[in-house]
Amino acid sequence: MIVEQDELEVLSSAVTGGNTLKLARQLDRKLYENTHKVLVLAGDKWNRSAQAHLFQDKAADAIEQIIPTRQIIDVEKP
């Protein structure tokens, strides 16, 4: 899947720490839904109590693979 420029900008400004990723700003609904789709494909799970997207491994590693290539490969599929 090709990641659009708007989603890349959101991911570039996201704050990561360990396995967590937090969006840096409030997004309109459509942009959030598109960004969330990218994050899910990258392997995240939303955690309401943490108010963050949680990854199995380092969140920054997952995002750093997406930004330069503009591509996301579904981690669920082989």
pLDDT tens digits for 50-74? 999 999 999 999 899 899 999 987 6
Mean predicted confidence (pLDDT) in 32-49: 94
| pTM of the complete model | 0.85
Exposed (0-12), middle (13-18) or buried (19+): which is 11, by Cβ within 10 Å? buried
Spatial separation of the C-alpha atoms in residues 62 and 27, rounded to whole Å: 21
The whole-chain average pLDDT of the chain stands at 91
Spatial separation of the C-alpha atoms in residues 11 and 20, rounded to whole Å: 13
pLDDT for 6-35, tens place per residue? 999 999 999 999 999 999 999 999 999 999
Spatial separation of the C-alpha atoms in residues 14 and 21, rounded to whole Å: 7
Spatial separation of the C-alpha atoms in residues 67 and 16, rounded to whole Å: 14
